[in-house]
Amino acid sequence: MKVPANHAPHPDSSPALGKRWIRQRLRRSVRAMLLSITALLFVAAVLDRIFPLRLPAADTGSTVVLSRDGTPLRAFADSDGVWRYPTTARQVSPLYLQSLFTYEDRWFYRHPGINPYALLRGTFGLLRHGHVVSGGSTLTMQVARIVAPIPHTVGGKLVQIFRALQLEAHLSKAQILQLYLDHAPFGGPIQGVEAASWAYLGKPAARLSHAEAALLTVLPQSPSLLRPDRHPEAARRARDKVLKRLRDQGIWSDAQWHDAEIEPVVARSLRAPLDAALLAERLHQQQPQARRIVTTIDANLQRAVEDRVSDYLSRLPPRTSAAVLAVDNATLEARVYVGTAAFADPLRLGHVDMVRAPRSPGSTLKPFLYGLALEDGLITSQTLLTDAPQDFGGYKPSNFDDSFNGPVSAAEALQRSLNVPAVDVLDHVGPNRFVARLANGGVDLELPAGAQPNLSIILGGASTRLENLVGAYTAFANEGIAGAPRYLADQPKQSRRLLSPGAAWIIRDILSTNPADVAGAPLEGTISRHDAVAWKTGTSYGYRDAWAVGVTDSWTIGVWIGRPDGTPSPGQYGAVTSLPLMFAVIDMLPIDRSRVHAVQPAGVRQVDICWPLGGAAASTPPVLCRQRRKAWTLDGAIPPTFAERDITAWSAGLLSVRVDAKGRRLSATCHGEGEHSMQIARWPALATPWLSADDAAQSALPPLAPGCAQDSLEVASPIRIAGLSQGARLRQAPNSTQPLHVTLQALGATGEVQWLLDGRLQGSSLGNANMQFMLPQSGDHRITALTRDGAFAQLLVHVDSA
C-alpha cells in the first residue's frame, strides 16, 4: 500500500523514520525560536535607537558645600530647584542598603531588570483585591520611572519594563543603584538618600540607625504622604512595616526590631542647611561647576559661633551686623567664618559678606607700625613718646576720647591705642614704606580716589578687610610670617614675611600683657583659657566700625561689628562692642596643648633704660636717670628719645650748660665765680604739663645769672591764663539750669593755644583770643593752656556742688 506523499509517517511506523521526524521538528523549533529572538533583539535595538535612554548627566544636580568632616554647610538647588547631595553605596549606612534590598528588591543583583515572579504576584493581587497589594517593580524599574516620567497605566508599565531592560543593557548594577541613591524622591525638593538624611534627620546617611534606615527606605514609595515633617504618624506606620519584614526574614534580630520600633519619628522642618552661608556662596561663585566643595570649616564650631553672634547682637542697636573669622595658626585654615549676623535679613543687610567687605580698620594697624619701628631701631618697647596735642604739618590728631596722657612708653601707647604717639612713630617710619610693608605681608590698603599714603592711615584713613587683618595677625604666632586664610581643603598655603621674628615676639608680648585698667581688658576670671591672648581693638571715625583681633598659640580671631551700610552706631566701639564677643569666641575654641608658645628670639633681650633720655641705664649717670624702665630691645638697638619737631627754644635730651657757683646759668659771653659745666636731662617740652613737680624742676633750665644776656635756651615767651585765679572756687548761680561756663585767655601767646580740661582737649584759640568751655562736674579740675613750642600754663580750680 502506498502512502501519500503529503502524509507524514507515524512515528511508530518505523523507528528510523520517527527519529528523523523528531529531529526535523526540533530543528524547525530552534530556527523559529532563533528567528523570534533575533526579531525581538532587532525590535529592541530599533526601539533603543528610536527611544534612546536619557540619563541624568554626571555633573548635574545641586551643589553642596561641606565642612571639613563632610557635614553640609549649604546646599544650592539646581535649575529645577532640587536639592541633591551625590553619594555612593560605600558612603551610606549598610543598614540602609539591607533595608532597601530586603524591602524593595531582594533579587536586584540576579534579575535582568524585571522580576517575572514579582510582576505576576502583583498582577494577581491586583485582580483579586482590586488594589495593589504587592508591588512588582524592581529597583531598576523604579530607577526607570525616576529618570523619565512614566504614567501609571498598563501602557506605562510596559514602557517602564522596556526602560528597565534598557538600563540593564547599558549600565552595571552599581551604576543603577547609584542613580537610585542620588535621584530617589523624598518629598518636596529633596532627591537622594544623602540629601534626605540631612534634611529630615540632620545627619549623614552613613550614620543612620535601624529605624532611620527603614524610614528612608519607605519614603520614596509615597514621598508626599509619608513626609515625616508633615505626617509623622503615617511615616511611622510605613516604617514599622519595613521593620517587620526585616525581622520576619531574619535580616534584623528581634531585639533590633524592638528597639527600632519604639524609636519615635522625629524630623526637622524641611530646610537646606545654611551654615557659613556667605562663605558657601562665595566658594560656589568661584567654582560654579563643582558639585561638592569641601571647606576647612568646623561645622560644630561654626554653628555654635553663629548662635553666639545672633544672641550677642540681639542686645545691640537695630541694623547692626557682625563678622567673625577664626583661623588655625599652624595651617592657616579657617575654622569659623561668619560673614553676617543674620543671613538674608534685609534689615541687617544680611547678604553682605563683612569678612571681605572693605572697611576702615581704625587702630588695628598700630601693632604692625610699632613692629616696623622696632626693626628700624627707632624704638624699644619702653621708648618715651609724648601724648599731647601736636601738629604734624597741619594734621592734628587727637585721641579717641580727646584726652591726653603726656609722657608714655611705646608699649603703653600701643596698649591704650593712643593716636598722637602712633602718628609720631609713623612720621618717623614713613607712610609710603609702612603701606608697602603691609602690602608685602598681604594687607592691601585701599585709599580714597587720588589719595597718597599719609599719616591718617594709622588711624583708619584707608580701608582693608577682616580676612586680611586676621591673616596679618597670624604673624604674631608664626615668627613674623603672615598668611592668607585658607577656606578650601585643597587650597595651597600662601605665607609672606611681615615682621622679623624678634619684632613679632615683642609686639605679641606687649599685646598679651595689657594692664587691667586698659579699656576693654578682660576682668580676672572672665576668660577660662590658660594660654595668653594678645589682643587689639579698633574703632573707625564716627563709630562706623568696631574691631577686635586676638592671637593665641593656636588661633587668630577677628571680629567686626557695625552697620554694613556704613552709618554710625554712636557709643559702639571696639573695646566695649567687639572685644567681649571676641573673648567669648576664644573661650569656645579648643586648646591644642601640643602647641608651644614661641621661644624668645636670640635678638630680643631686656635692658633697663632711662627716661627722659632713652639710653641704657648702665651708661646713664644716676642724676640723669629720672625714671628707670625695663625695655625689650631688638638686635641691641637702644635709640634715644625722639627729637622734638618745630621747637627752636626747647630741646629735649641731654643739655650741657655753664653755671656759676650758685647754680645760675651763664650765657655765651658771661662768666662767674666757680664757673663749671652742668648736664640736664630734659623732657620733651609738650610733656611738661604732665610731669611731677620734682621731674619738672630737675628738667628746668637754671635761671640766668644777673647781668648775663638772654640766650636761645630759654623757653619761648611764657604764657599766663587770665580769667580765673589759681585755686579759684566756683559755684553755679542759684536756680540756674545752664552748665557752668568759664571764659579764659592765654596772655603772652602769639600762635595757636590748645586748651585742656583734666587732660581732655576742649578746643583751641589763637593768641590772646577768648576761649570758652564749661565745667560740667563738681570737684577739682586742672585747666591747661599749651602752645606748639611747649610753653604752658596751668590752673587748679574747684567747682562746688549746687
pLDDT digits (tens, 9 = 90+) for 250-289: 999 999 999 999 999 987 766 667 899 999 999 999 998 8
Backbone angles phi, psi at 534, to 5 degrees: -90, 125
Amino acid at 444: D
589: pLDDT strictly greater than 60: yes
Residues 86-95 have pLDDT tens digits of 889 999 999 9
Alpha carbon distance 131, 60 (integer Å): 37
Question: Which cell is 219 given?
Answer: 519614603
Q: Could you tell me the residue ranges of all domains in the chain?
A: 11-46, 76-252, 604-634, 720-800
- Exposure letters 566-584 (e unless 16+ CB within 10 A, then b): eeebeebbbbebbbbbbbb
Which whole-number Å values give the CA distances from 462 to 190, 368, 388, 449, 465, in the listed order? 47, 15, 24, 11, 11
In this prediction, residues 66-81 reach a mean pLDDT of 86
In this prediction, residues 347-355 reach a mean pLDDT of 92
Residues 415-445 have pLDDT tens digits of 999 999 999 999 999 999 999 999 999 999 9
Q: How confident is the model at residue 347, as a pLDDT? A: 86
Run of H or E including 66: strand 63-66
CB atoms within 10 A of CB 292: 14
Q: How confident is the model at residue 10, as a pLDDT? A: 53
Nearest to 369 by CA among 498, 197, 226: 498
> Which listed residue (360, 363, 578, 699) is catalytic?
363
Q: Is 321 a catalytic residue?
A: no
For residue 788, the 8-state DSSP code is T
Alpha carbon distance 33, 39 (integer Å): 10
- Map 397-438 to HEC letters: CCCCCCECCEEEEHHHHHHCCCHHHHHHHHHHHCHHHHHHHH
Amino acid at 325: L
Residues 491-525 have pLDDT tens digits of 999 999 999 999 999 999 999 998 867 777 776 55
Give the residue, 367 or 114, on which the prediction is more confident: 367
Alpha carbon distance 567, 570 (integer Å): 10
Evaluate whether 101 touches 89 at the Cβ level (below 8 Å): no
CATH superfamily of 76-252: Biosynthetic peptidoglycan transglycosylase-like (1.10.3810.10)
In this prediction, residues 409-420 reach a mean pLDDT of 96
Of 28-37, 385-394, 563-572, 698-707, give the lowest mean pLDDT range.
Answer: 28-37
- Exposure letters 56-73 (e unless 16+ CB within 10 A, then b): eeeeebbbbbbbeeebbb
Of 106-120, 178-192, 196-210, 250-264, give the lowest mean pLDDT range.
Answer: 106-120
Nearest to 205 by CA among 596, 336, 118, 196: 196
Nearest to 652 by CA among 660, 641, 668, 666: 641
Strands (E), 674-759: 676-682, 720-722, 729-731, 740-747, 752-757
Run of H or E including 335: strand 334-338
Task: Give the range with max mean pLDDT: 33-47, 464-478, 646-660, 731-745.
Answer: 464-478
Tell how strand 534-539 and strand 545-551 pair up. antiparallel
In this prediction, residues 533-559 reach a mean pLDDT of 94
Q: How confident is the model at residue 133, as a pLDDT? A: 44
Evaluate whether 460 touches 360 at the Cβ level (below 8 Å): yes
Residues 6+ away with beta carbon under 8 Å from 104 = 138, 139, 142, 217
Alpha carbon distance 717, 23 (integer Å): 139
Alpha carbon distance 310, 322 (integer Å): 9
Evaluate whether 375 touches 499 at the Cβ level (below 8 Å): yes
Biggest alpha carbon–alpha carbon distance for the chain: 181
Residues 318-331 have pLDDT tens digits of 999 999 999 999 99
Alpha carbon distance 301, 316 (integer Å): 23
449-457, long-range: CB within 8 Å, 24+ apart, which pairs? Answer: 454/395, 455/392, 455/395, 455/397, 455/423, 455/426, 455/427, 455/431, 456/395, 456/397, 457/365, 457/426, 457/431
CATH superfamily of 720-800: Immunoglobulins (2.60.40.10)
Q: Is 677 a catalytic residue?
A: no
Rg (CA), the chain: 42
Q: How confident is the model at residue 516, as a pLDDT? A: 67
Give the residue, 692 or 6, on which the prediction is more confident: 692
pLDDT grade, residue 120 (50/70/90)?
Answer: low
Evaluate whether 467 touches 444 at the Cβ level (below 8 Å): no
| Sheet bearing 63-66, strands edge to edge | 72-76, 63-66, 292-294
700: left (phi over 0), alpha (psi -120 to 50) or beta: beta
Is the peptide bond between 15 and the residue preceding it cis, with omega within 30 degrees of 0?
A: no
pLDDT grade, residue 609 (50/70/90)?
Answer: very high
The CB-side HSE value for 513 (13 A sphere, CA atoms) comes to: 9
Which whole-number Å values give the CA distances from 581 to 54, 550, 603, in the listed order? 54, 11, 36
> Which listed residue (104, 194, 412, 644) is catalytic?
104
**Angle 758-764-767 from CA coordinates, rounded to 5°:** 120
% the chain with pLDDT above 90: 50
Alpha carbon distance 215, 759 (integer Å): 72
Alpha carbon distance 563, 580 (integer Å): 18
State in Å, rounded, how far the first CA of the chain is from the last one: 157
Evaluate whether 543 touches 572 at the Cβ level (below 8 Å): yes
Alpha carbon distance 194, 643 (integer Å): 70
Task: Give the range with max mean pLDDT: 222-226, 558-562, 657-661.
Answer: 558-562
Residues 158-190 have pLDDT tens digits of 888 888 888 888 899 999 999 999 999 998 888
Question: Which cell is 758 given?
Answer: 583734666
Which whole-number Å values give the CA distances from 401 to 210, 388, 493, 580, in the listed order? 64, 13, 41, 20
Evaluate whether 66 touches 91 at the Cβ level (below 8 Å): no
339: pLDDT strictly greater than 90: yes
